[in-house]
Structure 1
Amino acid sequence: MSNPFAGQAVDLPGKVKPPVPPASGGKPQVSNPFAGQAVELPGKATASPALAASASPSSAVAGSVKPTAAAEPDDPELVPGSRKDLWKCPHCGAGNRPERDTCRACGKHRDAPVAAKWYANPVILGGIALALAVVVALWVVTRPDFTLRPAGPQSLTGRTITGGGGSDQGIGDGIQFHARGRIAWVGRVAATGSAASSTLAVYALAKDASDDAAFAEFAKSVVIEQGAVKIDPATAKRFAVFSCYLVQGAAAPEVGSYHSVVGDSGTLSQALLGLRGFDAGPVVVVRESAVAKGR
């Protein structure tokens, strides 16, 4: 049977046409239907063959990479142990090479005058020292002195000396003493009486109490009734009257004698009665005392 298509190329659907073999046995020739034309692709800029030919690979690479400066070598001054002859800046303490005259850190000359620190200024130091001396002197003068003073007219304190401290303690019969601070005084006993498991004592602390005649008249005016003290306000101010409740077996000396006391002041509490206050003065637990008789 004869083939009517013998020697002819036949296009079949879904098949790729093979290249036509060269007549002289060379390489197969493939035709480019877009040769010499600009081709537009989606998302790409149109480039002409002339511009594409003018752009060389070497120029593209050279334009995309920026030249960088060569890294500077480490400063030998910053490398520990690299130099043993560095001079230390008197202004900031940085190390510098011997051939430098100015500091690499602060820029100041090595021979420039060094500014004294504020705390090294003699004027400021003198002011601080003076202020500290004043504070210490005031503390020594004004701090409470709880040393037991000798009993006598020359030691009358004119007021009670009080300060922080003291300690709580039980004083028997379920009664608890709650300390509020320490207390001391030297006074002349004007009157005494009993009040709620304690001894109520009235003292004259002023220097006028050393006048026997004046004190005798003052002592006659003091009245103790039902644990309270009754006295003329003007007279009480003149003689600096102080009254308190002495507890834990402490008894005031006889009227007219001088009594020096150091102790704790506070209040009393009882399990059933709770906290109990006293109108005439604080409750005092005597720790040290001295007595001197009056005339």
Structure 2
Amino acid sequence: MNLLKLQILVLIERLKKVTDVAKELDMKQPTVTFHMKSLEEDLGVALFEAKRGRIWLTEAGKALHPYAVKMTAMALEARKAVQDYADLNKGHLQIAADSLMGSIHLPRIVNRFCREYPGIQVELMVQPSRVVQELMYHQEADVAFYYAQDGPSKGITEEVLLDEELVVIFSPSHPFASLKSLTDQLIAQQFFIQHAEGSFMRDFARSYAIKSGIHLWERMIINSPEAVKHTVEDGDFISLFPLSGIRDEVAAGKLMYLPVPEKPGKTVKACMAYHADQPSSPLREQFKQFAKQTLTAPVSP
């Protein structure tokens, strides 16, 4: 007994003619008759009887009819539910992003994706870089976005979306505003805002200081990139930041920047990552393509 046979029984009850059922299902009449007889053989009882040129359900057929209606309706509903996900009309997407990607790029990407696919629910988890990579490793996110310099962990596939320069940011009222370039020693003399524990920017800043042989004067630690920028705008502090993350403040005259003194590795990667063993889905694949198309290049100096 399969759903097609039950669907034929439901249609026989409504249309009373094999020819009409065949037309409804876009099938040949002998095929419909074959399935009717097959259903009777499956159940070992007569379900149909011919009277005055029409086909009627027997008492056994009438007993089966309400169950056939429910089963075919549920099958149709199940098919539609699955099709909704395949067509991106429904679905839930879990995205993990470090604090920089989560504040610089993901709001724009997610907003435009939700606008184009209004039936999709997006959960954006903004966490320190190390936490994001752990979420990805344990398959607790469909896709992740973070800044990195090293290669991915085992089992993780990374796609580089941007090669990004990190710069020293400061306010127009800061002494650096009159300079055309910086030295490591000048940077070491200033009040420095350090990014939070577990963030890529903190690791980068510490690595930069070691390579340069300097000690950063870390007077403040902030776990919000937006708060870092607003604090630097006040004039007393400097910090490090991806160039694409300050374009609005630079355009508005709130922030200025200069390149980090020439050192190997001052360019970093803005990455999109996903677990290699995680089953693919139309929703995840569509979002990955959408993110790559939406993400714009960083501003030029």
Q: TM-score range by the shorter chain?
A: under 0.3
- Report which of the two structures shows the higher radius of gyration computed on alpha carbons: 1
How does the TM-score come out when normalised to structure 1?
0.26
Structure (1/2) with the larger helix percentage: 2
How does the TM-score come out when normalised to structure 2?
0.26
